[in-house]
Amino acid sequence: MRTLALVALLLTTACSQPSNSTVASTAAANTTAADRTTWYCEGQRTFEVSADGEKLNVYAGGQTYNLSETPSQNGVSYTDGHVAYWEHQDMAALDGAAGGPYGQCWRTPQ
């Protein structure tokens, strides 16, 4: 049930935003692995994120996405209109990115 609520939140957030380019800038692609946070998700999936000013760069499935912060009732949420990232209390989820779905993700392998 918790997973369904999280997915519903991500879909609502992603669908309510205008469409932007999903591929991040060259500067984002050059971020070193040391500057990134790795998320470990159910289904043996992983993705990484890094902050870039007011944007969040997401590295998933061989693609890089540059997301903008969007209002969230719980935690923090970013989207580009297609891909949505949500984080709250050391858990995260990523929807719409290559290689997904990325549901129930933690900072350490579970």
Q: Does domain 2-106 have CATH number 2.30.29?
A: no
Tell the burial category of 100 from Cβ atoms under 10 Å away from its Cβ (0-12, 13-18, 19+): middle
pLDDT of residue 106: 96
CA atoms within 13 A on the CB side of 30: 3
14 vs 8: CA distance, rounded Å? 10
| R_g (Cα) of the chain, nearest Å | 13
More confident residue, 15 or 77: 77
pLDDT of residue 52: 87
Q: What is the pLDDT confidence band of residue 109, given thresholds at 50, 70 and 90?
A: confident
Q: What is the pLDDT confidence band of residue 26, given thresholds at 50, 70 and 90?
A: very low
Give domain limits for the chain: 2-106
The rounded percent of the chain whose pLDDT value lies above 90 is: 58
pLDDT of residue 30: 55
Residue of 27, 62, 65 whose CA lies nearest to 49: 65
